[in-house]
Amino acid sequence: MDLNIILKNKEEYYRLATDYYNNIDEEYREECLASPKSISIVMDHDFIVTPSIEIRLELRSQDEQKTIGNYFLYIDEEKEFIDEFLIYKD
């Protein structure tokens, strides 16, 4: 995986993750602000068996401005979907 390409296009990766998040979470979308948190390369993971790019969004409440969860999108080098995880804190 070419790190330079990822760095040059990081806004595009965050936009892609935001689009995926908006497609799965209609209930909380109005209450949450999804903000970019990190982009990582995953080589060895218990659940993601293929090398991938992990894009993490932090989910914050609009009214209290506290972190209420995280969204993780996993894609390959061609930006093809591999998996996603949505985690809300109690």
Instruction: Express each pLDDT in 25-79 by its tens digit.
Output: 676 666 778 899 999 999 877 888 888 999 999 998 877 778 889 999 999 989 9
Q: State residue 34's pLDDT score.
A: 87
pLDDT of residue 25: 60
State the Cα–Cα distance between residues 17 and 39, nearest whole angstrom. Answer: 10
Count, in order, helices (H) and strands (E) of the chain: 3, 4
- Backbone phi, then psi, for 36, in 5-degree steps? -60, 140
Question: What tokens appear for 90 in the block?
Answer: 């109690």
pLDDT number for residue 79:
92
Our count of domains for the chain comes to: 1
DSSP state of 44: S
Domain extent, residue 21, equals: 3-88
